[in-house]
Amino acid sequence: MRVLIISDTHRQNANYLKVLEQVRPIDMVVHCGDVEGSEYMICESAGCQVEMVTGNNDFFSDLPREREFQIGNYHVWLTHGHNYHVSMGCQIIKEEALARGADIVMYGHTHRPLIDMSGKVIAINPGSLSYPRQEGKRPSYIIMELDDENKAQFTINYL
């Protein structure tokens, strides 16, 4: 299974469409919020299952604030992260994920990519495809792949 994880596109979808062309085939798209009205386009373009939540800039969206679902054997908790002080680090959100029984928490908001596999919960932040804030400021996304033994591998990728 191959999963494209993105966040913080802020209605600037050209890079999302480029990434889709580069990484296909994929089995799922996960968007960690701040779509700003592009929900339909993101879903239609994906051509596969899409999981998506609202971010702090999705003011009139009907999307849920949080979602829980399975990817293989992994219980995933998806949230934008702004309610869990992620700008200060991922410890609080990882503690909340553990309390919810999640194996993986996927979030955005910081516009900085992160894969934190320390402790009992994996924290994944794909950064931003539209307004990156990390050093070098390159648009980023994460690919999650499940191997033959259903073990997850994560890679941060840049445009």
Q: What are 100's two structure tokens? A: 């919810």
pLDDT at 123: 98
Give the pLDDT of residue 148. Answer: 93
- Architecture of the 2-158 domain: 4-Layer Sandwich (3.60)
The helix, strand and coil proportions of the chain, stated in percent and rounded to the nearest 5, come to 20, 30, 45
pLDDT at 116: 98
The structure's pTM equals 0.97
Task: Return the pLDDT at 65.
Answer: 97
Query: DSSP of 14-75, one letter per residue?
Result: HHHHHHHHHH-S-SEEEE-S--TT-HHHHHHHH-SEEEE---TT-TT--S-SEEEEEETTEE
pLDDT of residue 44: 97
Rg, the chain, Cα only = 14
pLDDT mean by block of 10 residues, the chain; 159 residues: 98 98 97 97 97 96 97 98 96 98 98 97 98 96 96 97
Closest CA to 3 of 21, 24, 32, 33: 24
Q: What are phi and psi of 74, to 5 degrees?
A: -95, 130
Which pLDDT belongs to residue 15? 98
Residue 59 near residue 30, CB atoms below 8 Å: no
